Amino acid sequence: MTSREKLLDHLGRRRVVVTGIGVTTPAGCDLDTFTDTVMAGAPTAGPITRFDPTGLPTRFACQVSGFRPERYLSGKDLRRADLFAQYALCAALDAHADAGEPPSDPTRSGIVCGSSFGGAHSYTLQALNCLDRGPEEVSPLTTTLLIPNSAAAFIGMKLAWHGPSTTLSTACASGIDAISTGVGLIRDGRCDLVLAGATDSAGVTLLMMAAFCQSDALSTRNDDVATASRPFSVGRDGYVMGEGSAFLALEPLDDALARGARIYAEIAGTAQSTDSHHLTAPNPAGTWVTACMNTALADAGLTPGDIGSVNAHGPSTPLGDAMETRALLATFHGTPPPVTSSKSVFGHLMGASGAAEAAVAALTAFRGLVPPTAGHDKLADDCAGLDVVTGRPRDTGGRPVLSNSFGLGGQNSCIVLTPPGWSPLS
């Protein structure tokens, strides 16, 4: 095999690697804190402090703390950017810095951002302004505050990039879909550097908390918030709402090697599928989730036996965890590898969850350690057959990681990350 062939995957495409990670999450707003919190399996749920939750069945969430947007945004820009865009800008620029701010052609540098809700917080405030005080009191900045692509726009303006800038919304699959889209831009030769991730802040607002409480999606363990999120465990009663953003810096393997970049992981395979079953409930058999995982493995040129661990969607809902268990058992022929759920630590970040979990998966591939699942007590009967990592990180010997995200409307997305230097071609 020639050196050139080693730079291409099994389908002759440019191999894509992660060289930078940036996070703005309840588990930390810098990579070191985020890594320590996740690897310790330390839950971040606590009483809601952003608004008065009196009257809600759920009065706790995972909130971002220690966020310093002034690092990148002036006072004027802060007024023009909804919180979801602020989260994204800081995470994306941190990922770029973590990658060493690689030199790039601005016309071949791209941004892909996912979000479930965009500037929903600003939309709500301005709608109330309009109704309560009259249309003349609506801010002239309303449009730019709420449009979902404002996050990507701020990132592009800060970096003066002129390549593709794409915003997508596929509910809770948005994060992996954004990363998959970024991988495609590099594989297809359109970009040499992509910042890909997702962001959401709408979840920890009175309106959205009320909406999710009304749909019985959230845990109501107000007296035991530390173990309220208990994926795959007995007694699970819903997820814990979160917020935040995560971005990955993606480059072709050859460029990363040429500049001596640190490589966290290679993104070897991606896939999407759709249940077409129900707007909120998953297909209980997990048929199309199984198909999605198998397609991601095929895209990576791997077999189920190659996978060392799974970063599960694992929302801690009765239906969701049971469905994912069935799909994992089918994909891995009855014996799935060790499984973890990062939502147990930093909550469900909505559209950003898949991006944050992909960051965890990249760290798992890089370190060879699977972080523990917080809150998990005893494996539920409808999740029998899973090996859920608890207590402390599990050493898997540096093997590929599969990460799953499933969104409302039956959106399924999977991504496969391999450790640096690990490849069936090497």
Selecting among 96, 121, 348, 376, the annotated active-site residue is: 348
| Spatial contact of 344 and 239, defined as CB atoms under 8 Å apart | no
> Distance (Å, rounded) from C-alpha 394 to C-alpha 244?
26
Q: Which of 147, 165, 169 is CA-nearest to residue 155?
A: 165
Q: What is the DSSP string of 94-125?
A: HHHHHTT-----GGGEEEEEE-SSSSHHHHHH
DSSP result, 374-388: TT--SB-GGGTT--B
The encoded tokens of residue 331 equal 């994909």
Determine contact, residues 201/209, Cβ cutoff 8 Å. Answer: no
3-class DSSP state for residue 193? strand
Contact 171, 348 (CB under 8 A): no
Choosing from 90, 113, 172, 414, the catalytic residue is: 172
Marked catalytic residue, from 96, 121, 313, 376: 313
Distance CA(373)–CA(388), nearest Å, equals: 7
Q: How far apart are CA 251 and CA 3, in angstroms?
A: 18
Location of structure tokens 């939750």: 53
Beta strands in 220-280 (DSSP E): 244-252, 265-274
Q: Give the dihedral sign, CA 327/331/333/336.
A: negative
Rg (CA), the chain: 20
Alpha-carbon span 239 to 316, nearest angstrom: 5
Residues with Cβ < 8 Å from 100, sequence gap 6 or more? Answer: 19, 20, 259, 261, 262
Terminal C-alpha separation, the chain: 9
| Residue 76 CB-half CA count within 13 A | 0
| Catalytic annotation present for 414 | no
The verdict on whether 278 is a catalytic residue reads no
Residues whose CB falls within 8 Å of the CB of residue 36, separated by 6 or more in sequence, listed in order: 28
Catalytic residue annotation: 172, 313, 348
